[in-house]
Amino acid sequence: MPRKSAKKKAAKKKTAKRVYLFHQGSREMRDLLGGKGANLAEMSNIGIPVPSGFTITTEACIDYLGAKRMPAGMMDEVKAAMKKVEKETGKGFGDPKNPLLVSVRSGAKMSMPGMMETILNLGLNDDTLQSIIDLTGNERFAYDAYRRFIMMFSSVALHIERANFEKMLEAMKKKRRVKQDTELTAADLKTLVKQYKAFFKRRMKRDFPTDPMEQLETAIRAVFGSWNIPRAVAYRNFYKIPHDLGTAVNVQTMVEDSGTGVAFTRDVATGEKKIYGEFLMNAQGEDVVAGVRTPIEIAQLKKQNPKIYNQFVRLATRIEKHYKDAMDIEFTIERGKLYILQCRVGKRTARAAVRIAVEMVKERLAGGAGPDQPASAARLRPEGEGLRREGRPAARQGPQRLPGRGQRGRRLHRRPRRGARSGRHRGGAGPTRNHSRRRARHARLEGHPHRPRRLHQPRGRCRPRPGAALRRRV
C-alpha cells in the first residue's frame, strides 16, 4: 500500500502545473515561483501596472537539470500561456504586423543579483523589426534593440563570447569618432546588425534563428542552465544557499522603452523618507544596472516629467504600505505610461534600518504581531542580520561589546597582551588553544565568510623573518 501511494504522489508531481500567469500566483508562493515571480504576481493582484507575462516554476527547472531535457508537456503549457498574454496585450508573438516582444529572466527563491542570465527583446527578426519601426516611428530604437538581442541571445543561450560583439561595437564607435553607444546613428546600428549576423553564421555554421518560439525555448533552456554556471554556484556556496532550489523563469512583455530606472521607497543610506534612485531616458533596464551609461538622479525626473514622477511616487507608496517595508523597485516608461517591472525588499545600512523601523512604527506600518505583519524586530536588525536570517552570512562589524560600567562597555573577546603567558591573566582568558577554538566557534556562529584569525601559530610551522638566515650566517 505505501508503495502505491508513493507512486500516486510521484504521478501527481509529474503532472503538476508548471506555468502560472502573473495573476494566478501570490507572494506566498516564493518556493514555487521564485522571489521575482511571487512579487510580480502579488503586484498584479493588488492592481499595480505590471507588463503581462507568466512564470515557469522552480520545479520545472529541477526536472530539467535532472533529466537534461525539457519536462514532457511543459512547452505546451508555455504556448497556452503565451496565447493568453497575446490576448491581454492585443499583440501577437511573431506577428509581423503587431509583434509581441518578451524578456526572459531568472528568479530564484533567494535573490542572486547578476548571477544568472537574462535575455531581452526576444521575438525580434527581420519581419517584426520592420513592424517595430513602423509602429514606433523610431528606426534607431528598433535597430538598437535588435543589436542587443543578437548579442545577448548568442552569448547567453549559445555561449558565444560576448567580447566578439563588443569589439565590433567599439570598432564602430572608433570609426565614427564617438564615445557613447547613444551617439551612433540608426545607419550605424543597422550596419552592426549585419556584422553581428555575419559573425554568427561564420561561428555557428547556420543563420541566426528567426522563429520566435524556437528563440523562446532556447532562452528558457539557457536560464534553467544558468543555475549551475560557475559564478552562481560560487555565490550560493559563499552565502550558504542550498543548491537544490532551482530557479524560476519569468517571461514578461517588453514595453517600448522611452525611459527606465531603479529606485527605493526610502533612502537606504540614511533611512530618510524620500524616493531615492536613478533613471535613464531612451534606454533599457540593463543600461542602469550594468552601468553601460551614466544614470540621472530620479529627482531630475520631477523636472523632466512631473506627471510620471508623481505617478511613481503614488505607486511606490502603495507598494511600501502593502509590503510594510522599504522596497527596491524597477520601473519603465512607455509612451507616457508607467509600468513596474519588479520589486523586492531593499537592502539598507544599519543606521537606515533603525530609522526606517522607528518611523514605520510611528506610521503604523510596522509593530503589529498579526499574521499579515512581519515581526518588527526584523527591521531593527542591520543588513547583515537580515541576510543571515535568509541563510547568508553577515559582514563582520568589529568586536561585539557587552553592557557594563561607563559608556565604552566591555569587549566580548579581548586580544591577549603581547608577550603574555598562556593561562589566566588580567582581562580574561589567556592565549590558549581553547581560546582560539572559542573564537573560531564564535566566528562560525556569527556567519563570518572568512576563517577567524588565529591567535597563535604552532611552533613547528613558524616561519623565520625574511633575511634571518642570512644574518645568522654573517
Separation CA 441–CA 413 (nearest Å): 12
C-alpha cell at 433: 588553544
pLDDT of 214 > 90? The answer is yes
What burial letters (b/e) apply to 438-465, b meaning 16+ CB within 10 Å?
ebbeebeeebeeeebeebeeeeeeeeee
Range of weakest confidence among 97-101, 221-225, 366-370: 366-370
Tens of pLDDT, residue by residue over 232-247, are 999 999 999 999 999 9
Q: Which amino acid is at 265?
A: T
Over pLDDT 70: what percentage of the chain? 71
Q: What's this model's pTM, rounded to 2 decimal places?
A: 0.74
Q: What is the arithmetic mean of pLDDT over 179-205?
A: 95
pLDDT for 157: 94
pLDDT for 74: 95
Separation CA 40–CA 329 (nearest Å): 11
